[in-house]
Amino acid sequence: MSAASGLYLVPELQRNPMNTTTFGTGELISAAMQMGCSKIIIGIGGSATNDGGMGMAQALGVKFYDKSGAIISGYGGRKLIKLDRIDLSGLDPAIKNTSFFAACDVDNPLYGPRGAAYVYGPQKGADDEMVKELDAGLVNFAEVVQRDLGIDVSGLKGGGAAGGLGAGLFIFLGAQLRRGAELIIEATKLEEKIKGADLVITGEGVMDNQTFYGKSAYGVAVLAQKYNIPVITINGSVNIDYTLVDESKRNLFAGNFSTINNPMPLDEAIKNGGALLKAQAGELVRFFLSCSKP
């Protein structure tokens, strides 16, 4: 979905989850079904949105009404608070013959302190007041969904992923939410490959407290722990506050390292990412091998 509704598509100074929409993601899903796809895996994450998947649903024929009975026009997270009624009569009928799976790296609920708006809204351009309004909109969205459709997403794990798209896919497409890490592990047969390994190396762009909500590096570490294999990560940057990490998860990683070897602008770090990664990996492997000598 990030290819259609991703944060990287919006210039930094223009980012505003009150306005951004998952409509384009819905168009991609529609196009896939028109091509005859009967099983669709949707990678969710890296989004610029916080609309609960409303835009995606609009693209697939769902109509949303406000309290005056008018169809809600336009898009964006700001529309959620206006929602009063949902009409599924126009939903694309091809959905009934299609299986949907959402690759979801986090288990955040739709709303609340760990929900889409409070945890991810600020990085998408939301200020404090926007976060409060977006969260209130998601609460309203969930209440209307439960009343009109009989679906309770208040405690849905991963419902808050991609600005609430996790919940939207579950509600409107009946999608199964599965950890992206699990899908990757299965597709690559990683469990078989790491058996007997001395060390597992993984990583991500920014390793922070969100990693411990279930992102890929976390999933790899949990798998390696099953076989008592140490795991280190090499990342673009590391910013973990271990006082906020559950005690049972603090020792999943033997060490977390950054590719950055001196202060530099982000664009320079990205431009030289390959060389920096190679250098850091070399240092760590040499260190590991020296410690492993009998």
Q: Are residues 28 and 102 in the same domain?
A: yes
Q: Are residues 76 and 130 in the same domain?
A: yes
**Predicted pLDDT of residue 17:** 97
In terms of Cα–Cα distance, which of 16, 3, 12 is closest to 75? Answer: 16
Distance CA 226, CA 234 (A): 21
Distance CA 127, CA 133 (A): 10
**Predicted pLDDT of residue 181:** 81
Range of the domain at 250: 181-292
**Predicted pLDDT of residue 235:** 95
Distance CA 1, CA 98 (A): 18
Task: Kindly report the CATH number assigned to the domain that includes residue 242.
Answer: 3.40.50.10350
Q: Are residues 51 and 37 in the same domain?
A: yes
Distance CA 236, CA 238 (A): 7
**Predicted pLDDT of residue 294:** 67
Q: Are residues 254 and 132 in the same domain?
A: no
pLDDT in tens, the chain (294 residues): 999 999 999 999 999 999 999 999 999 999 999 999 999 999 998 899 999 999 999 999 999 999 999 999 999 999 999 999 999 999 999 999 999 999 987 889 999 999 999 999 999 999 999 999 999 999 999 999 999 999 999 999 999 999 999 999 999 999 999 988 888 888 789 999 999 999 999 999 899 998 887 788 999 999 999 999 999 999 999 999 988 998 889 899 999 999 998 899 988 998 999 999 999 999 999 999 898 776
Total domains present in the chain: 2
In this prediction the pTM is 0.75
Distance CA 117, CA 221 (A): 27
Q: Are residues 11 and 95 in the same domain?
A: yes
Strands (E), 58-189: 63-65, 85-87, 99-104, 176-178
- Provide the token pair at 79: 């529309």
Q: Are residues 200 and 73 in the same domain?
A: no
